[in-house]
Amino acid sequence: MKKLVIIFVVLVTPLLIQAQRSAITKGDSFFDSFQYDLAKDHYEKALNNAKEQNEKAEVAYKLGYCYKMLGDSEKSEIYFAIAVKNYTKGVIKPDVLLFYADALRMNGKYETAIEVYKRYTEVVPDDYRGKSGLESCKVAPKWINRPSRFKVTNTAKFNTSSFDFSPAWASKDFKTIYFTSSREGVVGTDYNNRSGQRFTDIFETAQDRKGVWDQPKPITGNINTGDDEGAMVLSSKGTEMYYTKCIAQIKQDIPCKIYYTTKKGNAWGEPVWVDFQGFSTYEVGYPALSPDEKTLYFSANTPEGYGGMDIYMAKKIGNTGTSFERPINMGPIINTIGDEVYPTIQYDGTLYFSSDAHEGMGGLDIFKTIKDAKGNIIGIENLKPPINSSFDDFGIIFSGRENNGYFSSNRKGGKGSDDIYSFSLPPLTITLNGVVRDTTDQAKIKLLKGAKLKVNNDNGLVAEIESGNSGDFIFKLQDKQNYKLSAEVDDYYFATSVDISTFNVEYDTVFNVEINLGLIPRVITLPNIIYDYDKATLKPESTVSLDGLVKTLKDNPKITIELRSHTDYRGNDEYNMNLSQERAKSCVDYLISKGIDAKRLTSKGMGESDPKIIDEELAKKYSYFKVGDKLTESYIIKLKTDQQEVANQINRRTEFSVLSKDYGTNAKTIEEVQIEKEQQQEIKKGSAIINDTGDDF
């Protein structure tokens, strides 16, 4: 019996090996002629019977590549993983690591992909794709967690289980769309073994008066054939069209080309090949027109390019539609070692395109170019989720100047491999939500009703509002604006303002603002005004407080002030008086340097003549002081040494007081002055001195 088994194995094993070799040979034949849909079936049979590690690696690599080209990232991940597991140097290319990492990224497995990209960059450190993929896996999860405000919807009316992609506007009112499809109804009956689906044709659909899209149908004329037609662009009038045509031949890879045709009546005329100078033998496709329709953008794979498909531009010669100057490569900011395809030009000349090598989510991502003031392209921007996904996203079009339109994607959740999606950008909601407070007495802050608020932007006054019963106010802001919110009560309160910019606001936002207004007291101490020892030179940290005073003076253009500088008791009277005068002048000079009119400023040195009186705030901060204590020399010398230094520091202060509130206006009447004096006396009975923190100048 044992002999029979051995004989059976001896007889069968060569047959299995022969069958396996036959499957690989047939698979290679289809693989070499780009017929990936047929090649995969033979490779799968061969892989099941493969015993040797090298053989498993080679067959699995080719299977992974077949599914990569067929757009099946899940199966390509499976087979590239097998190839990597059985990887032996010299048997298959190290790009198996890159392809495996790419498949993982397309399937949203970013953490695992990072490790594989790292392995690839160790083997091929100079390949830009490995480094870009690694960085992409780091940023993609952040983008997913904070997507843009765009809303994306599968346009079910356009889509089938077949390929449906690359929409293009066919009328200037944006109510007719052409797109590429391999659905039922195409001219040819054969299947494209390169894609696994029928050969594509161009279809059209139009909106009725209610905005409902009708059933798509093939365009009429001489365009659709048994080959692949699609990826087109039309003139604004809808009477001229450039489109991509790919002729399929067994065992021959014929480059795709761009064709031009015009519409006569309701049907398209005979197409003409657009023979770009020097590009006749290269892969060319994905046409796009500039807004003035004098320049054609397209993708091409040329030896002079950066790798894969690059985006080029070519200017028209005359009005024939088929004569162009020699194409110009768009350069390394846009083009990479990977593929840059499906260009689209917006109304303002902004170029949108798809790439699989720039930093992105995975597969093809849609990007836009960034220009400087002179119109030069200085960078690109990924459109991020939800427009981009970890799968292929491409072929975007916009409804004129609107932030809505359509694009293609093979992401999960659609009807088929490639589907058409609509996108729109809801209005950005930016709200200014605030409250006005009376902070004259920091211990008893009150909500302030009836405060007058003015909202200005770069164009001038936008609105005038008042705070409500609870001191509250609310106002809607526009994006991309600089606002100044000014608040005032009357001449007895300091006015103030707040600057708000909405230029970098990307999401619905609420600006919560507290406006603090204080009655104008007799004296205000400026905190942290510090000088070099025994000098009048301001230390840098002093400018924070003085800058706050600059803002107060600009918010209150009618007031004039006196700046007073104090010293402690140490040193003789004359020296202290001179030093304090110079220090006060230093503050005034700083204010003048910031644009404050010198006529509004007076400096005064106080020397040691006006010792500080302890208020509630200081008493709370320093337990050894009581409210009402006057920091005279006789008082200070009775304190402990460390307490003496604190007292001297408190005395070394800079203050300001308001001298008048009518600068630049006509003088007040005697009656008005008398009323103001009486009101000021009432104020003095309350909080006469406040230590300001910068909010309530």
Is residue 11 located within the same domain as residue 98?
Answer: yes
CATH code for the domain in which residue 663 is found: 3.30.1330.60
Is residue 511 located within the same domain as residue 531?
Answer: no
Pairing state of beta strands 509-517 and 430-438? parallel
CA distance 275 to 324: 8
Is residue 136 located within the same domain as residue 247?
Answer: no
Decide if 647 is inside a domain.
Answer: no
How many residues are recorded in the chain?
697
CA distance 395 to 414: 16
pLDDT for res 678: 62
What range defines the domain where residue 543 resides? 523-612+653-691
Distances (CA, A) of 386 to 382, 383, 507: 11, 8, 14
pLDDT for res 276: 96
Is residue 378 located within the same domain as residue 406?
Answer: yes
Mean pLDDT by 10 residues, the chain (697 residues): 45 52 85 88 88 88 93 94 86 90 95 95 91 94 95 95 96 96 89 84 94 94 94 96 87 86 93 95 97 97 94 94 96 96 96 96 96 94 97 96 96 92 95 95 91 96 96 96 95 93 93 94 85 82 90 93 92 91 93 94 92 91 94 94 92 90 67 57 40 33
Decide if 623 is inside a domain.
Answer: no
Domain count across the chain: 4
CA distance 249 to 317: 33
Pairing state of beta strands 452-457 and 191-192? unpaired
Q: What are phi and psi of 682, to 5 degrees?
A: -65, -40
Is residue 441 located within the same domain as residue 420?
Answer: no
Identify any residues that bridge with 438 across adjacent strands, giving them in sequence order: 446, 517
Decide if 631 is inside a domain.
Answer: no
The number of beta carbons lying within 10 Å of the beta carbon of residue 187 is: 14
Instruction: For 542-568, give one letter per residue: b (16+ CB within 10 A) or e.
Output: beebbebbbbbbebbeebbbbbbbbbb
Q: Hunting for tokens 């794979």 — which residue is that? A: 301
Is residue 251 located within the same domain as residue 344?
Answer: yes
Pairing state of beta strands 601-607 and 560-566? parallel
Out of 495, 517, 539, pick the residue that ends a domain.
Answer: 517
Out of 366, 401, 424, pick the residue that ends a domain.
Answer: 424
Distances (CA, A) of 75 to 88, 320, 331: 22, 47, 35
pLDDT for res 20: 61
**What pLDDT digit, counting tens, does each position of 267-278 carry?**
999 999 999 999
Residue type at 118 in one-letter notation: K
Cα angle 499, 504, 510; round to 5: 65
Decide if 306 is inside a domain.
Answer: yes
pLDDT for res 196: 80
> If DSSP codes are grouped into helix, strand and coil, which group holds residue 586?
helix
Q: Hunting for tokens 């030009």 — which residue is that? A: 345
Decide if 640 is inside a domain.
Answer: no
CA distance 301 to 628: 86
Residues 6+ apart with CB under 8 A from 70: 36, 37, 40, 195, 196
CATH code for the domain in which residue 49 is found: 1.25.40.10
CATH code for the domain in which residue 468 is found: 2.60.40.10
Decide if 680 is inside a domain.
Answer: yes
Is residue 279 located within the same domain as residue 385?
Answer: yes
CA distance 335 to 597: 56
User: 535-540: which pairs have CB atoms within 8 A and are 24 or more residues apart?
Assistant: 536/579, 536/582, 536/583, 536/585, 536/586, 537/586, 538/586, 538/587, 538/590
Is residue 667 located within the same domain as residue 587?
Answer: yes
CA distance 594 to 550: 7
Out of 424, 444, 472, pick the residue that ends a domain.
Answer: 424
pLDDT for res 288: 98
Decide if 626 is inside a domain.
Answer: no
Token output for 404: 């809505």
Is residue 157 located within the same domain as residue 140?
Answer: no
Helix (H) or strand (E) run with residue 610 in it: none
CA distance 535 to 533: 5
Is residue 534 located within the same domain as residue 673?
Answer: yes
Token output for 236: 């604004």
**What pLDDT digit, counting tens, does each position of 357-403 carry?**
999 999 999 999 999 999 999 999 999 999 999 999 999 999 999 99
Decide if 625 is inside a domain.
Answer: no
Burial environment of residue 86 by CB neighbours within 10 A (0 to 12, 13 to 18, 19 or more): buried
Is residue 118 located within the same domain as residue 157?
Answer: no
CATH code for the domain in which residue 215 is found: 2.115.10.20
pLDDT for res 554: 94
Identify any residues that bridge with 316 across adjacent strands, giving them in sequence order: 324
Is residue 182 located within the same domain as residue 253?
Answer: yes
pLDDT for res 34: 84
pLDDT for res 673: 52
pLDDT for res 251: 61
In the chain the first and final C-alpha atoms are separated, in Å, by: 107
